Structure 1
Amino acid sequence: MMKVFKLLPFLLILIITSCKKKEPIFTGIIPQPNEITYQKGSFEMNKSTIIVVDSTFEGKKLTAELQSFLRANFNLDLKATSENQDNAIQLILSDEDEPEGAYGLTIDKTGVTIKGGTYQGLFYGIQSLKQLLTPKSAVKEPVLNYVTIRDAPEFGWRGMMLDVSRHFMPKDAVKKVIDVLAMHKMNKFHWHLVDGIGWRIQIDAYPELTKKGAWRKVKENKKPWEDFEVTEENADEEVYGGYYTKEDIREIVAYAKDRYIDVIPEIEMPGHSEAALQCYPEFSCDTKDITGVYCAGNDGTFQFLENIISEVVELFPNEYLHIGGDEVGKDSWLNCDKCKIRMQEENLQNGEELQSYFVKRMEKFIHSKNRKLIGWDEILEGGLPERATVMSWRGVVGGIEAANAGHDVVMSPGDPLYFDHSQGKSEFEPPSWGGYNNLLKVYNFDPIPTAIEADKRHHILGGQANLWTEQIETLNHVQYMMLPRLTALSEALWTKSDHKEKEYFKEKLDFQLDRFQDLGYNFAGSAISPNYEVSYNKGNKVFSLSLFNELDLYDIRYTLDGSEPSMESKLYSAPIEYASTIELNAQSFRNGKAIGFPLIKMFSTGFGDQATITYTNPYDETYSGGGDRALVNNKFATARGDDPNWQGIPKKDFEVVVDLGDAKELSFVGLNYYQDIGATSVMLPTHVTISISKDGHDYKTVLNGAIETVEEREPIIKKIEANFANQTVFYIKITAKNRGTLPEWHLRKGDAWIFMDEISIK
């Protein structure tokens, strides 16, 4: 029976063994081993400790990694031998029939013994040993508690995808991503090398793919995918791009192999292929424009792709090749004479069946190269090739369908495994894309939905996070979006569900953050940043502000005078009650230092239950923000168009009158407006007026100003604030002028929207 010791029992063990001069430090292992038992006693490494290992090439590589780690962390320069002895770290390749990646780790009076049926298992055992000896801030001496671990991964596919098409990542940056995967015992690196706006892999048969397809023109006020146009590296205009030579690819594949990680290349088809088709337009449909979809009626298209795949498989020795297959716009096929002929010849009824023909034809060729085709769940449309593996990203429905039909599946749903999505709700979060995937949502991920039939569950190979890079240009940002969410995913995919303990994971995560710091990794403090809830007591007309963070870890300190919190600021311990407007600045602190982002908000009290809001033009029910009191509910929207706290009006002006219900002495009125040209039709108003009144008839204007048009694509929250001499106010009128229709330069056509949120007063 597995025994999992949490922090309190382990501290008791430390008390029992306190006669030892040096005590082992509890740090925990991530992902959580499936069997772990601690015993009394401890072993201390010293200069006489020997590494016992076989003399094979792989054994020597593992030894070198362990020696380097001990030298860097404890100044121990340990020798290696193949002869067994006490006071040793033994790396033993056993002949037992064990699951892939399984290992055993024993620490007793003779030293450390790591056993594995494969060198991969030994590698994972070393990763666990390294975690028992880190971080440096906690583990000062190489002292280890006696322990017995028997461990193996629950799922065979534990991966992450990195998109290098939108933004090229240098070779060394890719290696650092692989390092992060390795420390978490992940074993698949899905490399998104090809997409519509960038071709990143050298192909000798088609040199234009990297001579031009790897480079794009940089166009002012346009995202890379807007009016995309390939160019050459040495073009006169500003260009952006990069690619990997075949030697680069071999180097990275070998680097990953040394860390027991398979590299799965993705060569996108039949859609998302603008870069390739601008280089070789003869493989586009015979329509007016190059649409980014390969012509399915042209046999030359298939020869082109087969030639590419023939070169790709020589570089990537692992069994899978990813073809993409998602979001294929089929209009060009339906308007293409060659594709129409193909459909007639093959008796295909629609675009979905033509896509199925395309995928099945490519699968036969990929199979002939001793590789397995894997694609996004759209390859289900029209009929799935018999041997294909599905990567389910549009939720889990496609994965359920494929698994129940007998196909292997990798679960990779956008919610919660798209790591390009935001992981925190702070206004200070770096740019992200899509929805909101917080840390514990990732931790709770289960790759096997209950809808999968019991005898088909073995078809779920595992899971994978995806990191698309529309908004991510640097390794620093990549690491921020990965960490610590990858830590949570590693435990979701490695550890049996009934052996996971969320509270224990949070304790271990504290040490993991220090490991990241030691390694120089940039991690997100989103799960630690303060968040809030406001409640209102109608009886005594007092508001109550609760502060918390996702992990319920660390101190939160705050000020109410607008100053920046410090360790001397008030410690949050109970809800803050207030009857007049407060200006909160709250910050989480870890080990005496601020961590995560601050929470800086003005919480108003003038909008008790007696206040009412009258709208001249009604808000759209789809974007209600929560209803008639959405603008005065002390819930602030974030810089995301899908935040449910935004209230939206299309085409018409925003005009409201706020009846405060009784007299207020005010000197400030403010509210927020939103704009996101890159992803929505929401634009800032062109003009805003704020007026106040005692009787609801005669109004005094306290702000009347035009709003500058901003053409940048990034989301904007525009704070409109009116400061005026203190006076008695019963009514507030706010008018914002909608521009009506979107300007010519906008990405979209049609009605402009105004989004607004949260009126503040003091």
Structure 2
Amino acid sequence: MYSSRLALLFILLVVTACKNIEPPKMGIIPQPNEINYQEGAFTINDKTVIVVENNIEAKQLANGLGSFLKDKFNLTLEYSTTAQDNAIHLIKTSRDGDYGAYNLNIGKEGVVIEGSTDQGIYYGLQTLKQMLSPKANIKEPLLNYVHVNDAPAYKWRGMMLDVARHFVPKDSIKKVLDILAMHKMNKFHWHLVDGIGWRIQIDAYPELIKKGAWRKVKGDKKPWEDFEATYRDSSSAVYGGYYTKDDLREIVAYAKERYIDIIPEIEMPGHSEAALQCFPEFSCDTDLITGVYCAGNEGTFEFLQNIISEVVDIFPNEYLHIGGDEVGKESWLKCDKCKKRMQQENLQTAEELQSYFVSRMEKYINTKNRKLIGWDEILEGGLPERATVMSWRGFAGGIEAANAGHDVVMTPGDPLYLDHSQGKSEYEPPSWGGYNNVLKIYDFNPVPKDIAPDKKHHILGAQGNLWTEQVKSLSHIQYMMLPRISALSEAIWTKAEKKNREHFINKLDVHFDRLDEMGYNYSGSSLTPDYDVSYNKVNKVFNLRLHNELDLYEIRYTLDGSNPTMQSELYSGPIEYTTAIELNAMCFRNGEPIGFPLKKMFSTGFGDQCKVTYSNAYNETYGGGGDKALFDNKFAIARGDDPSWQGIKEKDFEVLIDLGSVNELSYVGLNFFQDIGATSVMLPTKVIISISKDGENFKTVLDEAIATQEKREPIIKTIKSNFDKQDVSHIKIIAKNRSVLPEWHIRKGPAWIFVDEISVK
């Protein structure tokens, strides 16, 4: 179709690739596997033509590029099917290549993007667009001569979004897909169904969206606490939402234009309270609807098969996710129907019954020309013959499945759960689970060494998972995605030997501008100041070092309690101190603050002189670092698993602190933790602080009752006492434990006190 002149152009472009010039700072993410720059530049102008084959997909790609250039540079380009100079050529080749592979060449005559598939051309266009953005850096459409030869390292590059806990509107889903597309991600795992919400219209069972899509709002209880499905027009407050089939088809089409496959998840056999409160006849014959489908009821399988038949009609891609995780099997062992099923099928354990359930559903899914994929619990009792495993509880399930010849998508909670916190600041928005920062994700390798060499091809790739227990808005979704999805995209697109952590960090500087231009709410956690403290025993001086995860940009600080500005002291080396300091530090990018501030009082703790005596021993599991933990200048964050918390179970926190010498003090403070939603840790009911000059006669400087807070979110409460300056050698602190959790608490049993870092000045 194209002239020999164009073929010659392509050859010349490739030949000139042998001279690689230092690349400009373009910030292309994910990093192309081969990129070679040459001297010279091509400028797109109003005479430039977009040359494209005459087919529907190619025209859509060309139109997308035309709209981009119009919006970005106010250029209206003409289209042609004839090869020519001063043009952007989009070419679908007949040559073999990896699915999604592309070549991008820029030379004197113009731009050539070619791929063996339309998807490859689309990815080439994403690279080209990044070369032309953000406008803050690229004032005109000028492109350095370059040759790019690129292809994805893995087939599966995805993200899961949970919309069951908090419904996400259709337009917000599209914006999530836009973020994935710009990073060349190709899978969107859509968690449409869970115990507390059914989000997909099923014509055969309208009750699922009439009732299952809505839940009663019960005070400040979490959605999963005492969950009760209800109707939208209920007299009580309700919360929820669902997608119509038209909504779903619209989103599927939107994703297809961006070469993203949508994998719907229909949970079974567990996590199904919403469905079973609508259809209790498919629950086991027990007194309680547990959220687990009855495996002995033939109606259960008919119900789920009817649902699947409608789901596959909406979603055309090859995989259907059935969940299969965290199945409480107690009801099966009590249910007469399930017991009978086990006898009929000669099943010895509940795990084998689960395997029967999953295998039976897999056979039906296969009749619909779909592949079953599930969380790694589907390994329990034996894995169905053709099932694909999504390994989330670490790598073990994925290793077992791959070595047995099954395809695997690696998605371990550490580090790929995007609902986990990405920063340590107390100002971070609510999160769930552990701590996964940007570089931890960037360093992720989907193929563990324990997989046999001849089985490595079974690792399809990886995905990040964003559960929404704490995430209720598009803005918060974007915050949890970015820039971590940027790191993940490079971890699974770029070949391991081509990855460069330092280069990626530098590219983020440009990418932040790009994200700003697009209006995305990305996280600055990786730029929030962090610290470490060391003590020089010889000079008796403390050294405070400041840094951030990416080691980018300026950190400015104050020691007088004021907020840092660009006129504040620039951090250039360790801050030495011998008396307590009140640090307030902030990172600045292009003269503007980014991330969160670091606000801490760093006490001397009086070095090795200090001795702490406990009336009640702290728990060994929650030792915080031992007897010196309360003066180690390591401040715990608002997470119960932070190792700096020191825990006392049931009894009072009561310590006597010998400072080792007499010192002039006017302040004593310390931190306590509470997290009702996830732990048995509560604030103390009272705190008493006393001081003494001689260690025998004590004066009370604080006797404060602490009000009970029923707030479910984590709390760090600082208790402090300011008093007239006086000589002090000993400090006594008593924090009263309520001993037993109150009746309204979601847990039962003994209460804990968590304490951290005593500061004095």
TM-score band (shorter)? over 0.9
1:530 equivalent in structure 2: 529
Retained in 1: the 8 A contact 2:52–2:79? yes
Q: Does 1:518 align with 2:536?
A: no
The code of the aligned residue for 2:569 comes to: K
Residue 665 of structure 1 aligns to a residue whose secondary structure is: strand
* Counterpart Cα distance in 2 of 1:521 and 1:323: 32
The code of the aligned residue for 2:421 comes to: S
The alpha-carbon deviation at position 26 of structure 1 amounts to 2.7
Q: Does 1:582 align with 2:578?
A: no
Residue 525 of structure 2 aligns to a residue whose secondary structure is: coil
* Counterpart Cα distance in 2 of 1:205 and 1:534: 63
* Counterpart Cα distance in 2 of 1:53 and 1:674: 62
The alpha-carbon deviation at position 490 of structure 1 amounts to 0.3
- Write out per-residue CA displacement over residues 729-760 of structure 1, whole angstroms, 9 at most, x where no aligned residue: 00000001100111111111111000000001
Retained in 2: the 8 A contact 1:286–1:338? yes
* Counterpart Cα distance in 2 of 1:394 and 1:565: 42
Retained in 1: the 8 A contact 2:586–2:597? yes
- Write out per-residue CA displacement over residues 158-186 of structure 1, whole angstroms, 9 at most, x where no aligned residue: 00000000000000000000000000000
Q: Does 1:743 align with 2:720?
A: no
The alpha-carbon deviation at position 13 of structure 1 amounts to 5.2
The alpha-carbon deviation at position 465 of structure 1 amounts to 0.3
The alpha-carbon deviation at position 234 of structure 1 amounts to 1.2
Return the TM-score normalized by structure 2. 0.97
1:362 equivalent in structure 2: 361
Retained in 2: the 8 A contact 1:199–1:214? yes
Retained in 2: the 8 A contact 1:188–1:263? yes
RMSD after superposition: 0.9
**What does 1:282-301 align with in structure 2 at a 5 Å threshold?**
282-301=281-300
The code of the aligned residue for 1:474 comes to: S
Q: Does 1:438 align with 2:437?
A: yes
Residue 71 of structure 2 aligns to a residue whose secondary structure is: helix
Retained in 2: the 8 A contact 1:92–1:115? yes
Residue 91 of structure 1 aligns to a residue whose secondary structure is: strand
The alpha-carbon deviation at position 135 of structure 1 amounts to 1.0
The alpha-carbon deviation at position 362 of structure 1 amounts to 0.4
* Counterpart Cα distance in 2 of 1:13 and 1:286: 70
* Counterpart Cα distance in 2 of 1:223 and 1:515: 36
1:467 equivalent in structure 2: 466
Return the TM-score normalized by structure 1. 0.97
The code of the aligned residue for 1:468 comes to: W
**What does 1:119-134 align with in structure 2 at a 5 Å threshold?**
119-134=118-133
* Counterpart Cα distance in 2 of 1:120 and 1:491: 18
Q: Does 1:616 align with 2:615?
A: yes
* Counterpart Cα distance in 2 of 1:712 and 1:231: 25
- Write out per-residue CA displacement over residues 661-716 of structure 1, whole angstroms, 9 at most, x where no aligned residue: 00111111000000000000000001110000112221100000110000110000
Mean CA deviation greater in 471-480 or 600-609: 600-609
1:506 equivalent in structure 2: 505
1:17 equivalent in structure 2: none
* Counterpart Cα distance in 1 of 2:363 and 2:722: 70
Q: Does 1:77 align with 2:76?
A: yes
2:482 equivalent in structure 1: 483
- Write out per-residue CA displacement over residues 465-484 of structure 1, whole angstroms, 9 at most, x where no aligned residue: 00000000000000000000
Amino-acid identity (%): 71
The code of the aligned residue for 1:513 comes to: F
Retained in 1: the 8 A contact 2:25–2:510? no
- Write out per-residue CA displacement over residues 519-541 of structure 1, whole angstroms, 9 at most, x where no aligned residue: 00000001111000000011111
Residue 527 of structure 1 aligns to a residue whose secondary structure is: helix
* Counterpart Cα distance in 2 of 1:662 and 1:79: 83
* Counterpart Cα distance in 2 of 1:582 and 1:53: 65
Residue 667 of structure 1 aligns to a residue whose secondary structure is: strand
* Counterpart Cα distance in 2 of 1:598 and 1:614: 34
Residue 657 of structure 1 aligns to a residue whose secondary structure is: strand
1:308 equivalent in structure 2: 307
1:92 equivalent in structure 2: 91
The code of the aligned residue for 1:638 comes to: I
Matched pairs, number? 743
Q: Does 1:549 align with 2:548?
A: yes
Retained in 1: the 8 A contact 2:478–2:521? yes
**What does 1:711-730 align with in structure 2 at a 5 Å threshold?**
711-730=710-729
* Counterpart Cα distance in 1 of 2:562 and 2:742: 41
Retained in 2: the 8 A contact 1:374–1:389? yes
Q: Does 1:349 align with 2:348?
A: yes
Residue 326 of structure 1 aligns to a residue whose secondary structure is: coil
Residue 609 of structure 2 aligns to a residue whose secondary structure is: coil
The alpha-carbon deviation at position 607 of structure 1 amounts to 2.8
Residue 178 of structure 1 aligns to a residue whose secondary structure is: helix
The alpha-carbon deviation at position 608 of structure 1 amounts to 1.0
Retained in 2: the 8 A contact 1:58–1:119? yes
Q: Does 1:448 align with 2:451?
A: no
* Counterpart Cα distance in 1 of 2:463 and 2:502: 24
1:20 equivalent in structure 2: none
1:563 equivalent in structure 2: 562
- Stretches of structure 1 that go unaligned for 5 or more consecutive residues are 1-8, 15-24
- Displaced runs of 4 or more, over 6 A: none
* Counterpart Cα distance in 1 of 2:663 and 2:44: 71
* Counterpart Cα distance in 1 of 2:695 and 2:27: 64
1:682 equivalent in structure 2: 681
* Counterpart Cα distance in 1 of 2:533 and 2:643: 16
- Stretches of structure 2 that go unaligned for 5 or more consecutive residues are 1-18
* Counterpart Cα distance in 2 of 1:13 and 1:677: 55
2:36 equivalent in structure 1: 37
Retained in 1: the 8 A contact 2:27–2:509? no
1:106 equivalent in structure 2: 105
- Write out per-residue CA displacement over residues 610-641 of structure 1, whole angstroms, 9 at most, x where no aligned residue: 10000000000000001111111000000000
* Counterpart Cα distance in 2 of 1:28 and 1:581: 42
The code of the aligned residue for 1:561 comes to: D
- Write out per-residue CA displacement over residues 65-117 of structure 1, whole angstroms, 9 at most, x where no aligned residue: 10111111111111111111000000001111111000000000000000011
Retained in 1: the 8 A contact 2:605–2:632? no
